[in-house]
Amino acid sequence: MSSYPPSSPAQPTTLRQRLAGLRGPAVPPRPLDARALAALAANPGCGRRALLDGAGVDKNALATALGSPAAFGQSQFAIVRGNSFEAKVKGDGGAELLRLVHAHLDPAAEPPGAGAHVPDLTAAGPEGRAARTALALREATAARAWTLLDHPMLALEVAGYPAYLEPDAVVVHPDGRWTVVEIKSFPMIDGAADAAKVGAAARQAAVYVLALEKTAGKLAGAEVGHTVLLVCPKDFSNLPTASPVDIRRERSVTRRQLDRLTRVEELAAALPEGLSFDPATRTTEELVEAVSAVDAAYAPECLAACELAFHCRERARTAGTVTALGRSVRGELGGLTTVEEALAAAAGAGCAEDPTAAALHRAARLRAEALESAAGVVA
């Protein structure tokens, strides 16, 4: 009989431990921001991004280790210019920012005076800062006075995992309404800014609004405005100007897409034990195998929003999937998932009962006839 005490049963691995193992036990998690969430909501079918973002994996380092580094991002000059402009807008206790909010969104209210409240939101860790922000919002709503929250911390559950978000500012109106303020360094020329950049800012602000609504739902008299204020430099100067942006559509789309995301624990549970995305402890071949173990949904739009887009594009092209041609093409081709299948259908080798294959074959015949007629005219 053994003299050793009986061994205790193995303790189940928690989700936090599992995600730490995926990114590397010694690697701190990268926090999710609103820009990443907006991109994630735009492609909810991509389990790869949902898992990597939920686990806090550094996708830029992972892409570099895979040999397909990301080729996008803000320049250091743009970051410095943006920080300088934001500091100017928020200077003097946020007087100019509050003036813009009053003028564009609440002109009937009493103008904000010099004594507008700017609470201290300092706390330990993102959880502490989120709790301090919630308390400041509660106090400001009860006080019924203009209040500026500078870089508050908001919490939002995404795919079963908490994400902590930091908007540029949130303003509490005297009537208890909360407004998200987005401060951008791109210019607003003659009262209008680049439509693509405004759209990206609106999608980002929609994520903040969703997070604010979680807090507002617990407070009597609180209301989150669905019109955010976009503050940009006026023309080619450094003077701030603003424009209201209605984000109700972006909010609805983002909410619906985030709800469709597979929960992180389900994605993690489907992976083999010992799998890791840590470039410091895994070879390139092991990282390629690990990334391939999670399904992706590549589309050309990913190139402007995801660090792994170039790796996923290469894999999609190698596999010949029609997703590499764009979501619209993928939707038109129905059950034809590869370029080879689409070309075969156009040549007449597809299923006769498949309307998509029949349409492709007919289009190929019409094209051939048109080219033949054009050649006859030239001759």
Query: Averaged in consecutive runs of 10 residues, what is the pLDDT profile of the chain (379 residues)?
Result: 44 73 86 83 85 89 90 70 90 92 94 86 93 95 94 88 90 95 93 90 93 91 94 91 95 87 84 91 93 90 88 90 79 80 80 79 85 75
The residues, ordered by sequence, that sit 6+ positions from 109 with a Cβ below 8 Å of its Cβ are 102, 173, 174, 175
How far is 18 from 31, CA to CA, in rounded Å?
A: 17
Nearest to 52 by CA among 259, 287, 317: 287
How far is 155 from 192, CA to CA, in rounded Å?
A: 32
How far is 354 from 178, CA to CA, in rounded Å?
A: 53
Q: Quick one: CA torsion of 296, 301, 305, 308, rounded to 10 degrees? A: 40
CA distances (Å), 39 to each of 35, 208, 210, 309, 317, in order?
A: 6, 14, 15, 12, 22
Whole-number pLDDT of residue 352: 67
> What number of helices (H) and strands (E) belong to the chain?
15, 8
Whole-number pLDDT of residue 207: 93
- Residue 368 class from Cβ within 10 Å (0-12 exposed, 13-18 middle, 19+ buried)? exposed
Express the helix, strand and coil content of the chain in percent, nearest 5 each. Answer: 50, 15, 35
Q: Are residues 56 and 31 in contact, defined by beta-carbon separation less than 8 angstroms?
A: yes
The residues, ordered by sequence, that sit 6+ positions from 168 with a Cβ below 8 Å of its Cβ are 86, 151, 181, 182, 183
Q: In degrees rounded to 5, what are phi and psi of residue 316?
A: -65, -40
Whole-number pLDDT of residue 216: 93
Beta bridge partners of 117: 147
How far is 51 from 161, CA to CA, in rounded Å?
A: 10
Q: Are residues 38 and 206 in contact, defined by beta-carbon separation less than 8 angstroms?
A: yes
Whole-number pLDDT of residue 128: 95
